[in-house]
Amino acid sequence: MMKELGYAVVTGASAGIGMFLAEGLAQRGYPLVLVARREERLKQLAERLKQRYNVECQVVACDVSRIEECQRLMSVIETLEVDIFINNAGFGDCSPFIKGDLQKELDMVDVNVKAVHTLTKLILQKMQKTDRGYILNIASSAGLIPAGPYMATYYATKAYVTSLTQGIAQELREAKSRIYIGCVCPGPVDTEFNAVANVEFSLPGISAEYCAQYSLKKMFQKKTVIIPTFTMKLALFGVRLLPRKWYVAITARQQKKKLNRG
């Protein structure tokens, strides 16, 4: 007799990659806990997924930039059997560091670093009780590059996510745990991120739907670092070949093209 699927929790589920991750999981029959700040959008998504895929969808309006809100989310799912937890909430900004908005940068650290760290630890402790489950952190190709001038804070936050994830993954392997953790490191993706980050990408982006479906496929294959496109894999290969200062200088030139002067 097949075991019923446990819940899949997706933060930042109201738009972009998070929305398509939720839909991809609904297609696979997972009951969902949808998390984001925008409750009305979550309710609309939940209703659509219920109608289309006949799955249970719970909505949790939550600002993960606040640690107490992360803890509240965990209390909501405390009694649920969670099979999948996806840390998708995050945002960026593009400007010279000296001119950047300090509060926006600190908020970025709260969402991209503190929330991911907190929720990863708490869900891992929950999953350890049954020694099963999937944790997927949505990072960025920025997290695999030495530094990102003109998006310095964003690159630094995503480096934290990729490093944290790979470190935990090795610990789990050495413990012979059945719990999986991995991170997704896409290049440009066509989402609301671009407007929030004040960028215009110099390279064409992939669709959020493709990124989500590819990420889920590789997650179930237990790939630790997931890079959705061959072009980005090729670009990241250069990190191994070039001196770090050269690669950072090249990145700076690319980042300047993203600055939205409009």
154 is catalytic: yes
**Active-site residue (options: 154, 160, 180, 214):** 154
| 3-state secondary structure (DSSP) of residue 140 | coil
Looking at the DSSP bridge assignments, the partners of residue 10 are 34, 86
- Output the six-digit token pair for 149: 């001038």
Across the chain, how many H-helices and E-strands are there?
10, 9
Q: At what angle do helices 16-27 and 39-53 cross, to 10 degrees?
A: 30
Residues near 49 by Cβ (< 8 Å), separated by ≥ 6? 22, 23, 26, 32, 55, 57
Q: Residue 47 — left, alpha, or beta (φ > 0 → left; ψ -120 to 50 → alpha)?
A: alpha
d(CA 87, CA 64): 10
β-pairing, 82-87 vs 189-190, is unpaired
Residues near 43 by Cβ (< 8 Å), separated by ≥ 6? 59
Residues marked as catalytic: 154
